[in-house]
Structure 1
Amino acid sequence: MLTPHPVPFPAAAVSSVLRVRSARQDDAAALAALSRPFVRSGALRERPASLYVRQAAEFLVAEAADGTLDGCVALRVHAASLANGHGPVGVLYNFCVAGHRQGNGVGARLMTAVLARAGAQSLTALYTATVGSGGLFLRHGFTPASPRTAPPAWTRSLDPRRGARVLARFL
């Protein structure tokens, strides 16, 4: 008798069963749950559950075929300022992919979608802060940037004790 062996599911097939969509307020609990392991590890700042309700419209989510959320990223738009010398810019925050889905293209799908959203909103640059390697951001054209070029309200909110690096991508 043959012992059945699981057939590996190719990464391309895994990411093709996802859809990326705008978050809804009723996604707030799932967004908080998805973010929780990253908060515990120190990769994300803790945010109150109410933030996910109030700011759901800023989030894109990667939704699996069964309706679970496997990743998310938020884009907050900031008006033009003298600091950046450009038009309106965006800040990416709360970018995370569920551990069991990392390495399967979920982050790349979210990045592609958020870049498209930024383009549709005529943003001139995107900023983010990361305490990790920033590999996904770097692969998508982000480069190290001075916090002085970023939206002042956002840079004031960064906790210097976390040692985050600011990255930017000009659009």
Structure 2
Amino acid sequence: MITARPRPATRLSDTPHPIRPLAAPVSTLRPARPRDAPALAALSEPFVRSGALRARPFQVYARHATDFLVAEAPDGTLDGCLALRVHPEPACDGRVTGVLYNFCVAHGRQGSGLGARLLTAALAEGSSRALDTLFTATTGSGRLFLHHGFAPVSPHRAPDAWARSLDPRRGAKVLARVL
């Protein structure tokens, strides 16, 4: 009878040419430019089709491209975006507010931390603009927003024109964070 003895496991660092998993390419965060409007619309389209984002005409992306912070891949494609608009009217309590909208991360980059990077950068931008509160609406769980200090609020606390623009059929939750 022959008894086989297990050999010690080989560690990757013991092999002459270790195989290492490829890391996801690092996206650069930057303000969007008007010429990014077609890419913003294209990035958003799958989320519109799924119902996660409301449909916006291309002209909205063209007119408000500078509201967006984008994550640009090394090849120049957009991996994610998040828009921040300073709201012209104060909230019901007189605070200067902003609204985060059109938050999306490309399917292949979800779960990579890119959404958290975009949100953290948007919060920093809101603070640098001396905003008191940021509002957003989500049809999803809102887990990332909640993790970053947002809390559910009544739409009545948000800027009136923005709150009125929400489609009640979508069942979006309004979240806010004091900066």
Instruction: Give me the TM-score of the superposition, normalised by structure 1.
Output: 0.90
Please list, as runs of the form range in 1=range in 2, the aligned pairs for 1:79-98 lying within 5 A after superposition: 79-81=88-90, 83=92, 85-98=93-106
Amino acid at match of 1:64: A
Number of the residue aligned with 2:34: 25
Quote the offset at 1:87 in angstroms.
Answer: 2.6
Q: C-alpha displacement at 1:86, in angstroms?
A: 3.8
Report the alpha carbon displacement of residue 78 of structure 1 after superposing the two structures with TM: 1.2
5+ long unaligned stretches in structure 2: 1-18
Q: Which residue of 1 aligns with 2:172?
A: 164
Work out which of the residue numbers 123, 137, 140 in structure 1 matches 2:145. Answer: 137
The CA deviation string for residues 5-27 of structure 1, in whole angstroms up to 9 with x for no partner, is x84334xxx36x21110001110
Tell me how many residue pairs correspond in the alignment.
162
Do 1:80 and 1:87's aligned partners in 2 also have CA atoms closer than 8 Å?
Answer: no
The one-letter amino acid paired with 1:141 is G
Aligned to 1:3: none
Report what 1:72 is aligned to: 81
Q: Deviations over 1:75-130 (max 9, x none)?
A: 111135361x1431000000000000000011011011101110010000000000
Matched residue, 2:5:
none
Number of the residue aligned with 2:22: 9
d(CA) in 2 for partners of 1:42, 1:163:
11
Higher radius of gyration, 1 or 2: 2
State the alpha-carbon separation in 1 of the partners of residues 58 and 89 from structure 2: 29
| Runs of 4+ with >2 A deviation | 6-10, 79-82
Q: 1:86 touches 1:124 (CA, 8 Å); kept in 2?
A: no
TM-score normalized by the length of structure 2: 0.86
Is it true that 1:126 corresponds to 2:139 in the alignment? no
Root-mean-square deviation (Å): 1.6
Give the AA of the match of 2:166.
Answer: L
